[in-house]
Amino acid sequence: MYHKEKSIQIKNSASALYNNLCVLRIAPRRLTYFTVVHANVVNMVSASWDGLNYSHRQLQSKEPNVATSTSLIMQAAFCVLTSRDLLVVTSQKGIQMYESDGSIMVYWHALETPETPTEQAVFARGISGVWENYICVGVSSGAMLVFDIPSKGSNITLSEVLHEHSESITDMASECSGSQECIANLVTADDVGNLCVWKSGEEFQLLNKIPGFDMSCSSVKLWKGTVVAGYGTGQIRLYEAVTGILHAEVNAHARWIYSLDIAPFSGLLLSAAEDSLVRVWHLTMTPETNSVEIAHLHNECVTDTQICGAKFCDGDGYAFAVTGYDLSEIIRYVQS
């Protein structure tokens, strides 16, 4: 179904972090951006569609002062909003927002760090752009920061802080089908597997809370009102977002799941885990019976590699890219 294509070499290897690959397709310029986190650096590659041009850029985590040692980055993700795209980088010290090509930093938000280190680590993790012009970022305390993004410029403001999760946020995702009919447009996940479903607005509204089973939910997606969640046990679960009804449960992987992605136009699902396997699935919705089904399509094994990021490169799922711990390349697969 898929075959391996030429890999893209990156300047450093990928770190073992959840969802450690982000892809942004710039159709007008026939380019795709890839971001991979390595310790305190974000490696950005801009690849032309003809496969001839690659340009690299590195973004560093912002240091508050020289005396402290470097701050590790937890995640980097593109946020696609109606009026603009931004690249958000979250670290132990705070949140940085850049123009999507990484050229200019437009906003910096420092996390409150106590004077003496506490038992709980402090960091930001979990990033999502939400309709219409919000960017949400999670924090290790369980808090969610909601930023209001103007259509251009750097006048970004903190609009709200939400306190529904009591454990560290792991990932969040907005409704990716493009449909305006979905009531819920954001899902957030935490380290004990609790899922919160939201409706965005001047004041975000909590629509539902789906309890976890004491196992970290490391990656989450939201498509056509269905939450797709990946867990540390290697399981994938499909829930109806607004009601919390469990549609399906898959014993998908033998180790911790690190990344999920959905190709919104075709309903293809990508899952990747520490067991060195990437799996492609197909989701089908039957609105009449309100059922969702998942079928397995394809496996790829990245030998001896714990995978930490996997994303489709386009909305149909024609191609996908994979990163692994200690690997200095982005591996690409294309449909045969």
| Interface with other proteins (CB under 8 A) | 12-13, 15-17, 38-39, 66-70, 72, 74, 92, 117-121, 123, 167-168, 170, 191-192, 214-216, 218, 232-235, 245-256, 275-277, 290-291, 293-296, 299, 301, 303-306, 325-326
Query: Smallest gap, in angstroms, from Cβ of residue 245 to other proteins?
Result: 6
In sequence order, the β-bridge partners of residue 312 are: 320
Choice between 25 and 282, CB closer to other proteins: 282
Query: Smallest gap, in angstroms, from Cβ of residue 101 to other proteins?
Result: 27
DSSP helix/strand/coil, 27: helix
Query: Smallest gap, in angstroms, from Cβ of residue 208 to other proteins?
Result: 15
Choice between 200 and 216, CB closer to other proteins: 216
Residue burial 233-272, b: 16+ Cβ < 10 Å; e: rest: bbbbbbbbbeeeeebeebebbeebbbbbbbbbeebbbbbb
Q: How far apart are CA 160 and CA 188, in angstroms?
A: 15
Q: How far apart are CA 207 and CA 39, in angstroms?
A: 36
Choice between 105 and 248, CB closer to other proteins: 248
Query: Smallest gap, in angstroms, from Cβ of residue 82 to other proteins?
Result: 34
Q: State the alpha helices, DSSP H only, in 114-229.
A: none
Looking at this protein, which amino acid is placed at residue 141? S
Q: How far apart are CA 60 and CA 91, in angstroms?
A: 10
Choice between 39 and 206, CB closer to other proteins: 39
Query: Smallest gap, in angstroms, from Cβ of residue 285 to other proteins?
Result: 13
- Distances from the Cα of 8 to the Cα of 16, 47, 60, 200, 333, angstroms: 19, 9, 21, 37, 11
Choice between 150 and 211, CB closer to other proteins: 211
DSSP-assigned letter for residue 252: -
Choice between 35 and 61, CB closer to other proteins: 61
Query: Smallest gap, in angstroms, from Cβ of residue 44 to other proteins?
Result: 19
Query: Smallest gap, in angstroms, from Cβ of residue 76 to other proteins?
Result: 15
* Burial label, 67 (beta-carbon count in 10 A; 0-12, 13-18, 19+): exposed
Choice between 32 and 92, CB closer to other proteins: 92
Q: Tokens 């593109």 — which residue?
A: 78
Q: State the alpha helices, DSSP H only, in 63-219.
A: none
